Amino acid sequence: MSMPVYSSEVYQIKTTDVAVLEFKTGVLPETASFKDEIVVLIGHNNTINENGSKDILIQGYQKVRQAIEQNKKFIPVRFAFIPANKRFDLLSPIIRKLRYKIRYYGSNVYHIDPKNIRNMKIERTIKTRQNAYSFTNPRYKMSLQERNTEYDRIFNSIKENGFKDDDPIDIMFCRLLGAKDCVNNGHHRIGMALDLGLDEIPVRFSAAGASPHLLRPLLKFFSTYNLAFKRRFGH
């Protein structure tokens, strides 16, 4: 098995979502950096509907049980994944086309407060009604009327029917330069959830590759500023 990689962020996950996971010890080597954290290893599934390997809790079982007893709604969770790229493959974590060829998904849907996602600053863009679906790629260009119609369709669906688990937000671990987690899909729906005052939304995690361990801190630092730039000036 390849050496595991850990999410760049700690996520506030609904406690009951973690409590249902099978607990296994000795699955991964102990990591001193995260020894006091709750850690979940995501499964390896080529599609979101595949019944492949399951997400498992590999560290922090007692903390999860205590949180249940204390009726804590959310608990901090660090995720781990096994990179699909080879150790010396530096291109797949960086080039989107290559990254998507090796991307895989965890098995479970989790629930997070959308305010937590916004505060984590892992969105590539902040989508509102004013800039919704304003894609720069001519292939996806939409008129103002089309943009408003599409926005209203999804917004009203969430408002009337709730945020369904079968269409979760996708957050990819180490998406940026193989070092920084960020929202991969669902920017519009995060904004809508915040506007509607929802206190939890469904999220599925995905992963692909990772940059070399020694370069990861520097690449994460660079990616953080790159994300801030995109949120301010991107569409």
What's the whole-number mean pLDDT along residues 21-46? 87
Report the pLDDT value the prediction gives residue 1, as an integer from 0 to 100: 47
Whole-angstrom CA distances from 134 to 127, 137, 188 are 9, 9, 11
Q: Convert the pLDDT of each residue in 146-199 to its tens digit.
A: 999 999 999 999 999 999 999 999 999 999 999 999 999 999 999 999 999 999
Q: Convert the pLDDT of each residue in 126-142 to its tens digit.
A: 999 999 988 777 788 88
How far from the centroid of its chain's Cα atoms is residue 223's Cα? 15
Element (H, E) at 101: helix 96-102
Among 31-35, 55-59, 190-194, 222-226, the least confident range: 31-35
Say if strands 5-14 and 74-81 run parallel, antiparallel, or are unpaired.
Answer: antiparallel
Q: What is the mean pLDDT of the chain?
A: 91
Beta-carbon neighbour count of residue 23 at 10 Å? 15
- Burial class from Cβ neighbours inside 10 Å (0-12, 13-18, 19+) for residue 108 reads buried
Percentage of the chain with pLDDT > 70?
Answer: 97
Report the pLDDT value the prediction gives residue 157, as an integer from 0 to 100: 96
